[in-house]
Structure 1
Amino acid sequence: MFKRYIIITLRNLKKQRLFTFINIAGLAVSMAVCLIVLISTRTNLSYDNFHPDISRIWRVTTRVVTPDGRKFHMASTPLPMAEALKNNYTGIEQTVPIYNALFGEGQTDQKKLDIRGAFTSPAFFSVFGFKLAAGNPATALSAPNSIVLSAETAQRFFGTADPIGKVIRFDKLGSYIVSGVLQPAPSLSHIDFDAFGSLSSVPGLEQSKALEGRTQNWDIIQGSYTYVKMRPGEGRSVLDAAIADIGHRYDDMPRKGQGSLFFEPQALSKITPSRGLYDDFGAGPPWTKMLAEVGVALGLLICACFNYTNLSIVRSLQRAKEVGVRKVNGAHRWQIFIQFIVESVFMCLLSLILAVFLLLVMQSTHFDALPVPDVNLLDWRLLLWFLALSIVTGAVAGIIPAWALSAFQPAKVLKNLVDIKLFGGLGLRKSLIVVQFTLSIAAMLFLVTVYRQFSYKATMDMGFYRKDILNVPLADVDFQRMKERMEQLKGVGMVTASSGTLGMPRHCRFFELRTNESKDKIQFGYYAADADFIKVMRLKLVAGTTFPAAASRDREQYLIVNERALQVMGIKSSADAIGKTLWMNDSTAMNIIGVVQDFNYQPMEVNIGPMALRFRPAEFNQLQMAMVAGDKEQEIAGVKSVWQELHPGETFSAEWMDEQLASRNGQEVISMLGFLVFISTLISALGLLGIVAYTSFTRRKEISIRKVLGATAPGLLLLLSKNYVRLIIIAGCIALPIGYLGSMFFLQIFAYRVSIGILPMLGGFLALALLALITIFSQTWRAVGINPADNLRND
């Protein structure tokens, strides 16, 4: 029986070439997108699934409400939290602190490499289940100044040589002896550092001022994380009680007008995909991104399934005779139902083959608009997932046509059943067309807003200069020495040293200050910069001066703040701020020597807040050079030559500031979204083309009779097209508010944004409506242009 189903399926597919092409093409393209999302989702959901006793492991997070009512959910906690929980609460078996302060350039006698690491305790291995390829997990992180490397980092530093006992030196954090090498984890983990240093190293680093004091400081939340493993049988309620008890130390914050703070547990299994917590170090994607990907893929797949459903229904007249004959010959309804399901699944399997072929081509050509994950697409386990998706898609797409067509009665086989009535008389075929174009139009309107916002982001004046600025890493060379050498080069104007690039995410650092008049601390963003930073970045100094040439490198004395900081501190004018003292702690006071006009020192997603420039040479990591307009390649070649003299044997890297900022202007997002909108529109247009072509064919005799009776071509064109035009207008009316709401939610991400604008949205709608009209008129005009004699000669 199944063999007969396949033979009938192949015969029908060959007979209906247009129907076959439209469905296979639409399904293949949409399934290609779905397969990419399936691979990505499978990866995203594989985080942290290898940790032992995962149901007993929690991360403590912090809920903060600022005095002005802003709410933050932070992944971090004060560093003493882990020890306090372990020592004072019996329901807790073990705690693991992670303090991500082990970063910088690590060097051996042969190599220098950037390391992103963290300090942690020996319990790290027993709690999380990480294995060591070399070293003893019980002692690897016990002694101060010991370090465990990831397998990749060990290979980068030492190649195939045994790394145990070797020394890695940091410029500020001292030297560390390699005591272990991690085995690659069985699957992905959100805890993904290059190296782990012993937490017992931190007190010494704090004593030497290499790190700020945190081991006993409950006031600093950022940068340290607390993981808790509960004893068997102890649940969340025990942990809730423990962290609530510790949280009592912050009970007086509301009374002092400092907002509020409390702690909250988060299950290890719920960390990734990310919930978008502040100060999180996890490598996993956020839930919103993953759900958006799944939503887009399902939307495209639904469009393709609608095409199949729609075209199957309009072919119902032709298939009605087939169903009638088979029922007269004794076929049961369930047999006919299965026949149509087999046809649908078979078509999806053909589409799957084409989709995998498309992915292989995109993977080999590195297609940017729709990047394919770098995995083996022909892996049998992955192919099983693909096959399951294909079968489910085929069954879903075919179930409505199969149910409808198998219900035909032989006695009524000639009845016109092109349109199955649904929802109080509204045709299913019409409903599907409306839904398809609603999705396409809404996506187009959303794309228009995304494009306008990112275009605005690319051209917005952020308040600083960024053209012809070359960023060059300092590495371990003194900034003044390197600066003087670079200033001697032809084509180099002014040069400044800084801790990061203005406007780039995570380049801005934060600290807290208070005034003499208040004990309340104010959070400032800051960049470390030298005296020429204001001139190179062309910031407007509205009062005071820049840093003096004689400013101390070791003792910080001066601050340059923005106008927003004055507003928060209640200072009425810029002139009044000059000379005012701000306190970082009880022993560190700094004087305001300058005030700059507000500028977007953070990405435009963030409102301008209090900000300071600080003269802290220890934090300088790059030179920013204002280049004279000319041959950029020649200029970089000169900079490279000097840089390599100062860094023998090291690899030179430099980046233009405007290109660095432009990399965040969403071109990849626009390209991918544009490609997906194109696919969605193409699928909808193909479906509309097939439906109009088929219905025009079924009305050919009606058209011929009307022409014989004197109907004009424009009148017939209007007659055949008006129903479809009406459907496109209905789709537009539904899509406009959907597109508007989607655009509004998207723009909420940005503190500085474009207005949605009704004209751009109408432009997007009219573009798609024009495409639909071209599709409709191309087929109806062909039907109108046929000679009536050709259709009526046999009647």
Structure 2
Amino acid sequence: MFHNYLVIAFRNLWKHKLFSFINVVGLASGIMVCLLALMQVKSTFEYDLFHPHPERTYRIITDVTGQNGNKQSFAMTPLPLGDLLPREYGFIEKSARIYFGLRGEVSGNGKTLYASGAFVDPTFFEMFGYKLSAGRPALEPNTVVLTSATAQKFFGAANPVGKTVLIRDQGHFTVTGVLAPAEKSHLNFEMLASMATRQTDAQLTNWNDTYSACTYILAKKGMTRQTLDQALPVVSARINRLLGTKSPIQYGFRAQAMSEITPDLEDLISITGAGATTIGSLLSFGVVALVILLLAGFNYVNLTLARSLSRAREVGVRKATGALRSQLIGQFLIESTVLALLALGLAYLLLMAVEPLPIVQRLTQNTRYDAALWLYFCLFALATGAVAGLVPARVLSAYQPMQVLRGQIGPRLFRGVGWRKALIVAQFSVTLTAAVFMLVMYRQFSYMGTGDYGFNRENILNIPLTGSAADVGKYRLLANGLSKQVGVERVGAVSESMGHYADDRRMRRERRGDAVPIQNFAVDHNFVPSMGLTVVAGQNLPESVSDSAGHFILINETAVKALQFGSPQQAVGQTLWLDSTDVQVAGVLKDFNFMSFKWTIMPLMVRYEPKRFRVLQVSVAGGAAETVVSRIEKLWKQINPREPLSYGWYQEELYEQHMHWDDQLFFYVLIGMALSIACLGLLGMVTYTTETRTKEVGIRKVMGATVMQIVVLLSKSFVSLLLIAGLIALPAGYSLGRLFLQEFAYHVSVGAETLAVCFGAMLLIGGLTIGFRTYRAALANPTDSLRNE
């Protein structure tokens, strides 16, 4: 019997090729997005499974409460906590600190590359399951272990153990080992150095720094989670008393089990890197996937019922010959599951097509296509087919043989203003809402890439200073050479291009006064004229390249207010404390957006610090771009023959930084899928209507109705459904767009033009879908439809 059902299923799919194609494509689109969601979930729960004692390993979380009462939760702790806990609590077997202060240019084996890592305690290699493929752990001062990928980049196939690498601003380190390729971990690093290197670092005893280190503990066997939860508040209270009532922050420590780190249930502020998937992102993408699949499921129901008239006689004959309703339901469910399995194959091909996109790589984290994953895929496809086919199976199997054989049958489930019309409205409402939201996103990102930040970015060529090119002597030699080239108006240097991020430091009016967070950049004296900034009080930084030039700083108007100066003029000449160094305010800059539009303008300080310069900015005269670039290439080869030259125009870089074309392309694909599925569903409903009104159309044409009158008659009810969908979706899309824009300090508005463009596009595409099918029905020869009368 099962074999017969399969034969019938394939015969029907082959007989109605267009119907089968539409259903397979619609279900494949929905299943593909759901497969991505399944892969994301599977990938998320594959983290940190290789550690030896995950059930006894905990990460300490720090809840930081500021003076304004706002609380932020960090996946990091002050460095001294890692020493205090095992020393004073016997139920803790050992602890390990990971201090993410190891990053910058690394030189080794004649190569200079950027790498990042951390200083770790010796216990790190005991608590975590990272294996060494060569050598031993880094235990002594100035020793380091490299990941296999990092070792390959520097030393190729040679054994790096015993070799020396130079880490900028950290010194020389001896490579003691190479880590074997590890499974997925929430920790992300390229090298690990011994914490003993920093044994004289003041940070090891600084309770005020919560931003650079993670603390993990390994509990003794038999210890309960409750014991740890009771001890940590006591530690928090003790540290808060130590900091005193004048401290701007208060700590609260709590434990997080290894199994709770990924997915991140709290969206913690973290610097650990890889395992940053939050439960919110999982749920959000899962909902998107299920909505698209639900739209495809609606299509299957609609299209199946639209073809139900051609299956009525088959059902009547089978029932008349003794077939049970359960047998008919089984037959129709097998047809839907066969269709779903075909859709699964097409969905896999679609998945392979979008897999190279960076956002897909981030979602799946290179999940392996193992047997378990394929089992999930197949079970999901079978479940999709069964659920989608259940309603048509119950409707079709309910036909009564006598009514069918007399020609008195027609689907009764979707009549009037019931489910048939509700499904169309739901499909287009969801699609239109998503389209409005995506257009708002596009406009905001475009605004961030092209808006007025308050600084000049036209005709400026950014040249990254990496490797040996970042050497102060080479930078000055290159800058001097470029400044003499025809077409070059000015050459400046900064630590980071404006419009992205900045480094955060602390500044005080008095050495022991309250600290004010301040963003800072390292710049030279050409920064102000190159960026077209305005000095509202005082003067620009001095042109001197001596160390004494670093004594002077520029601050912005917001910093003047934060430091509680009465006016910019009063701030000029004042001595301030930057960490433990005194600096003098040379001038005050007019406020401008030096970071992303996501944040309001913050206090800013710029200072001459040539060791931090990482970008050379060349102001080019109009029309001289090609000539200047060719001369830069020649001069670069003379000064840095071993370093490749890379450059980019500032305006283009800022635009590309915010537009995120790869990510947006993926979301456009999702909206295109949703719209295609909705139009297929609409096509199915129009097909259903025209088939059930074939004789009516024939009679009207015989009575003299024109083709256009027939088209209007068949189309007006569906156009009204699109209008209803617009009335529902436009307010929803507007609300979601406004909610999204609240994340940005400076943003566009959700104007009437945004809503009109999306609504007009939906009406156009939906109208063409309706018009195509109704026009074909109106052109039909009435004698064909009335021949049986």
Check whether TM > 0.5.
Answer: yes
1:177 maps to which residue? 174
Q: Distance in 2 between matches of 1:69 and 1:418?
A: 63
2:396 maps to which residue? 405
Q: Distance in 1 between matches of 2:164 and 2:417?
A: 76
Q: How does 1:374-773 map to 2 (within 5 A)?
A: 382-413=373-404, 414-420=407-413, 427-474=418-465, 475-476=467-468, 477-478=471-472, 479-505=475-501, 508-516=502-510, 519-550=513-544, 553=547, 556-585=550-579, 587-630=580-623, 632=625, 634-666=627-659, 667-709=661-703, 711=705, 713-773=707-767
**Cα distance change of structure 1 residues 29 and 709 upon mapping to structure 2, 3 Å threshold:** same
Letter in 1 for 2:195: L
Q: Distance in 2 between matches of 1:794 and 1:417?
A: 17
- 1:278 match: secondary structure: coil
Letter in 2 for 1:44: T
**Cα distance change of structure 1 residues 121 and 195 upon mapping to structure 2, 3 Å threshold:** same
Pair 1:298 & 2:293 matched:
no
Contact 2:505-2:520 at 8 Å conserved across structures:
yes
* CA offset digits 1:693-744 (Å, max 9, x no partner): 2320221101222333455555443332232223222222222232123212
**Cα distance change of structure 1 residues 439 and 356 upon mapping to structure 2, 3 Å threshold:** same
**Cα distance change of structure 1 residues 193 and 257 upon mapping to structure 2, 3 Å threshold:** closer
Contact 2:306-2:684 at 8 Å conserved across structures:
no
User: Identity of counterpart residues, as a percentage?
Assistant: 38
1:116 maps to which residue? 116
Letter in 2 for 1:265: A
1:218 maps to which residue? 207
Q: Distance in 2 between matches of 1:399 and 1:258?
A: 62
Give 1:381 deviation, angstroms.
5.2
Q: Point out the more displaced range, 33-42 or 317-326.
A: 33-42
1:210 maps to which residue? none
Q: Point out the more displaced range, 82-91 or 485-494.
A: 485-494
Pair 1:228 & 2:224 matched:
no
Q: Point out the more displaced range, 103-112 or 339-348.
A: 103-112
Contact 2:358-2:663 at 8 Å conserved across structures:
no
Letter in 1 for 2:229: D
**Cα distance change of structure 1 residues 125 and 451 upon mapping to structure 2, 3 Å threshold:** same
1:240 maps to which residue? 229
**Cα distance change of structure 1 residues 178 and 257 upon mapping to structure 2, 3 Å threshold:** closer
Q: Point out the more displaced range, 540-549 or 249-258.
A: 249-258
Question: Where do 5+ consecutive residues of structure 2 fail to align?
Answer: none
Letter in 2 for 1:451: Y
Q: Distance in 2 between matches of 1:389 and 1:68?
A: 49
- 1:665 match: secondary structure: helix
Contact 2:494-2:523 at 8 Å conserved across structures:
yes
Q: Distance in 2 between matches of 1:777 and 1:555?
A: 74
Letter in 1 for 2:218: K
Letter in 1 for 2:606: L
1:209 maps to which residue? none
**Cα distance change of structure 1 residues 221 and 257 upon mapping to structure 2, 3 Å threshold:** closer
Contact 2:302-2:684 at 8 Å conserved across structures:
no
Q: Distance in 2 between matches of 1:746 and 1:245?
A: 40
Letter in 2 for 1:605: K
Letter in 2 for 1:442: T
Give 1:147 deviation, angstroms.
0.3
**Cα distance change of structure 1 residues 170 and 252 upon mapping to structure 2, 3 Å threshold:** closer
* CA offset digits 1:238-268 (Å, max 9, x no partner): 3333332232222598954835432233332
Give 1:621 deviation, angstroms.
2.3
1:24 maps to which residue? 24
Q: Distance in 1 between matches of 2:269 and 2:218?
A: 23
- 1:215 match: secondary structure: helix
- 2:256 match: secondary structure: strand
- 2:588 match: secondary structure: strand
Contact 1:344-1:395 at 8 Å conserved across structures:
yes
Pair 1:316 & 2:308 matched:
yes
Give 1:603 deviation, angstroms.
1.3
Letter in 2 for 1:197: A
* CA offset digits 1:498-518 (Å, max 9, x no partner): 21111124xx11111122398
**Cα distance change of structure 1 residues 367 and 51 upon mapping to structure 2, 3 Å threshold:** closer
Contact 2:450-2:655 at 8 Å conserved across structures:
no
Q: How many residues align?
A: 777
Letter in 2 for 1:135: G
**Cα distance change of structure 1 residues 380 and 480 upon mapping to structure 2, 3 Å threshold:** same
Give 1:109 deviation, angstroms.
4.2
Contact 1:74-1:280 at 8 Å conserved across structures:
no
* CA offset digits 1:536-589 (Å, max 9, x no partner): 22222111122223475379522211111122222231111112222234x522
Letter in 1 for 2:581: T
2:80 maps to which residue? 80
Q: TM-score, normalised by structure 2?
A: 0.92
Contact 1:51-1:128 at 8 Å conserved across structures:
yes
Q: Distance in 1 between matches of 2:244 and 2:601?
A: 26
Give 1:431 deviation, angstroms.
2.2
Contact 1:369-1:675 at 8 Å conserved across structures:
no
- 1:3 match: secondary structure: helix
Letter in 2 for 1:194: E
Letter in 1 for 2:594: Y
Q: Point out the more displaced range, 39-48 or 492-501.
A: 39-48
Contact 1:360-1:377 at 8 Å conserved across structures:
no
Give 1:118 deviation, angstroms.
0.7
Pair 1:269 & 2:280 matched:
no
Give 1:67 deviation, angstroms.
3.0
**Cα distance change of structure 1 residues 663 and 38 upon mapping to structure 2, 3 Å threshold:** farther
Q: Distance in 1 between matches of 2:695 and 2:314?
A: 22
Q: Distance in 2 between matches of 1:610 and 1:374?
A: 38
Q: Distance in 1 between matches of 2:489 and 2:102?
A: 35
**Cα distance change of structure 1 residues 771 and 634 upon mapping to structure 2, 3 Å threshold:** same
* CA offset digits 1:759-783 (Å, max 9, x no partner): 4113312220222122112222322
Pair 1:328 & 2:320 matched:
yes
Q: Distance in 1 between matches of 2:139 and 2:11?
A: 73
Q: Distance in 2 between matches of 1:716 and 1:473?
A: 67
Q: Point out the more displaced range, 474-483 or 123-132.
A: 474-483
Root mean square deviation, CA, Å? 2.7
Contact 2:522-2:607 at 8 Å conserved across structures:
yes
Letter in 1 for 2:616: L
**Cα distance change of structure 1 residues 129 and 257 upon mapping to structure 2, 3 Å threshold:** closer
Q: Distance in 2 between matches of 1:44 and 1:376?
A: 9
**Cα distance change of structure 1 residues 720 and 171 upon mapping to structure 2, 3 Å threshold:** closer
Q: TM-score, normalised by structure 1?
A: 0.92
Q: Point out the more displaced range, 83-92 or 31-40.
A: 31-40
Letter in 1 for 2:590: Q
